[in-house]
Structure 1
Amino acid sequence: MTLTADLYWSFRSPYSYLAIGRYRAMTEQHDLDIALCPVYPLALRQPDFFERNHPNWLRYTLLDVMRLSQFHGIAMAPPRPDPIVQDIATRKIAEDQPYAYRLVRCGQAAARRGKGFGFAYEVSTLIWGGTENWHEGDHLANAAQRAGLDMAELDAEAEDDAEALDAEVAANQDRLEAAGHWGVPTLVFEGEPFFGQDRIDVALWRMQQKGLEERR
């Protein structure tokens, strides 16, 4: 019996990136289907979040994600460009966000096709895996192709159906909060949330309790 779960996820979250490859491996090794539910980055949902946080928060987060990438053997580098346009010195979020809206809308368009998980994995590997100017040239087109998608088609849908896609992304966020959390990455299995890249083993343990089997 195939078990199912939802993964609430952000293209800007380094912890989401650190989680998605490991969740992907879980689906390859077990009779499990994970549906990607993209949400907008916290910087867009709560623009004053970074200004309100402790001054050490950003420095610690950067230290933590780099050491976790080394611990898990996951290639990682600061994104160039950052999916969110932000003044690092003041932490202020710019009003114009050319990358984030494109990524999330295309991610939701991919999710409509049942291929959001693969799209998120390939694109986040570009963004966080060290590809400079990931938004230029054919980087995204090739990533979409690896996920079985057409980037031009996704971009057209993101532009033509932006309002409906945004409503679906907002519904993702509502479902995440209804499940009992607000942050990403959060896997929700049978109504139970597992927040963070450090809860993957716990999520696997719970699913095994519910009969999760290895693929044969």
Structure 2
Amino acid sequence: MIHFIKPRLIQLFTSQWLRNLRRRRVEKRRLANSQAHQVTVYLRLNDAHSYLLLQVLQQFAQRYPVSFDFRTVLNLQQDMYPAPALWQSNAFADGAHLAQLYNLRFPTQPPQASASRTRQLTAQLLHWELQPGYLENALQLFDAYWQGQGQGQNDILDKIVDTRISEHAECYSHHLQANEALLKQQGHYLSAMLHYGGEWYWGINRLEYLEQRLNEMDLQQNQSSAVVFDKSHRDFCGQSLNTRRSDEGTGQVNAIVMYWSMRSPYSYLALVRARQLADHYQVPLEVKPVLPMVMRRMQVPKTKSGYITADVKREADKYGIPFGRIADPLGAGVERCYALFAYAQSRGLGLSFLQSCAEGVWSEGILSESDSGLQQLVERAGLDWSQARPLLKDDSWRFWAQDNLAELYGQDLWGVPSLVYGETKVFGQDRLDRIEQGIIKDLAERTQ
């Protein structure tokens, strides 16, 4: 009975109906207390996404009657970041892409400040939190930190920073701890986060959802309800046919390679969208499954999984992908599907089978660990259950799953979904636009 009820409860929990009910209650409470539309903003000096977000907040406040409660953070929650160095490297590449997309400032090389220097500068940001002008002051400091190099950078920073503060950074340690504790208490772990009315919005990547919410409340101050921060997907698969692969082109076209996990809901979205991308530009798509983190004896804290479920729901709704009736495939559900992947590939139906499995567990509440559930997933992908069922006893898939993981690490990537196209390597379904850019450039060069 629990297997029948739980997916429906999750579907209710992630429904737009319940989301709208929560929003109405939040707004009613705000009005009753005569409170302003306040957005809590968590910023980290050495975070590329924080730097970009800070650059657009002034314009955002001109469009909507919101005030900002700035909270500076610095220390990463270790259990949330399994590969912090790779995360930072990827964030820098993402930052460069987003800066170009939105015409924002961004360096060609990461800042070289030491950990102690970064902590000193963070103390200055903390000091500014409790006085007017944080946004302007912080932006000036972020600019100097990210754009300057060498002695020139230090000279600029020395003019901005009060040495009485920077040389006594330890005096701000409790203030910093309070901000980081509040971030965790409110239910998150990333910086460049905006928290408004009980919901989270991650930097420029998710600012469109806050725009939409404020537009629905008729709060736009310039009479325009246009969404600005949707450029990463606005023109997805929108290039004209003459940019696609041509028989007159020369050379072998690159394949999109995706590292994928059945237990990752972002992987589910990425698979659906990557298939659309591959079909549109007529390029191959190769999916390489890996074991989920928990099955590799890693940890996924509840705070992280809770935010991911809510975030995937709104992303899925945006792209018209069904999501919400969830039957967690952890353990046998994953293993049984992986055991049949080679069989599906041998029939030319590997991608269809993986999408059938992902859609089943993430949107239909189908139990992939049961024979009846797995049979349904197999047969609707066009495969023969009588041929597939005996293959469930073969665990040779564990060799290629671990080899795929080693290959993922060899690409200087760490999580799923990750995608590679030629020299373009990205983490997350958010950056399929970078893969699309790589395809367009590649195909244009091959047809010249």
The question of a shared fold, defined as TM-score above 0.5 by the shorter chain, is answered with yes
* C-alpha deviation, 1:176, in angstroms: 0.8
Residues 6-54 of structure 1, C-alpha deviation per residue, up to 9 Å, x if partnerless?
111111100011111111111222221111111111110134x12xx4x
TM-score, normalised to structure 2, is 0.40
Distance 2:412 2:444 in 1: 23
Distance 2:275 2:325 in 1: 22
Answer yes or no: is the 8 Å Cα contact 1:36–1:111 preserved in 2.
no
TM-score, normalised to structure 1, is 0.78
Which of 278, 282, 286 is residue 31 of structure 1 equivalent to? 282
Letter in 1 for 2:295: L
Look up the match of 1:199. 431
* C-alpha deviation, 1:191, in angstroms: 4.9
Structure 2 portions without partners, runs of 5+: 1-251
* C-alpha deviation, 1:199, in angstroms: 0.9
Which of 60, 72, 77 is residue 324 of structure 2 equivalent to? 77
Look up the match of 2:360. 126
Look up the match of 1:58. 305
Aligned-pair Cα RMSD in Å: 2.4
Answer yes or no: is the 8 Å Cα contact 1:35–1:111 preserved in 2.
no
Distance 1:205 1:17 in 2: 22
Look up the match of 2:262. 11
Look up the match of 2:443. 211
Look up the match of 1:100. 334
* C-alpha deviation, 1:74, in angstroms: 1.2
Which of 142, 152, 171 is residue 403 of structure 2 equivalent to? 171
Letter in 1 for 2:388: L
How many residues get paired? Answer: 194
Look up the match of 2:422. 190
Answer yes or no: is the 8 Å Cα contact 1:18–1:74 preserved in 2.
yes
* C-alpha deviation, 1:138, in angstroms: 4.8
Q: Does 1:144 align with 2:378?
A: yes
Distance 1:191 1:111 in 2: 26
Look up the match of 2:393. 159
Q: SS at 1:210's partner residue?
A: helix
Answer yes or no: is the 8 Å Cα contact 2:259–2:418 preserved in 1.
yes
Structure 1 portions without partners, runs of 5+: 85-96
* C-alpha deviation, 1:154, in angstroms: 3.3
Quote the sequence identity (%): 28
Moved more, 197-206 or 115-124: 115-124
Answer yes or no: is the 8 Å Cα contact 1:38–1:108 preserved in 2.
no
Look up the match of 1:46. 297
Distance 1:189 1:109 in 2: 26
Q: SS at 1:77's partner residue?
A: coil
Distance 1:102 1:112 in 2: 17
* C-alpha deviation, 1:105, in angstroms: 2.2
Cα distance 1:123–1:178, how it changes in 2: closer, same or farther (>3 A)?
same
Cα distance 1:173–1:114, how it changes in 2: closer, same or farther (>3 A)?
farther
Answer yes or no: is the 8 Å Cα contact 1:158–1:165 preserved in 2.
no
Look up the match of 1:180. 412
Distance 2:444 2:293 in 1: 32
Cα distance 1:212–1:153, how it changes in 2: closer, same or farther (>3 A)?
farther
Residues 78-131 of structure 1, C-alpha deviation per residue, up to 9 Å, x if partnerless?
422x111xxxxxxxxxxxx32221122223443455532221111111111224
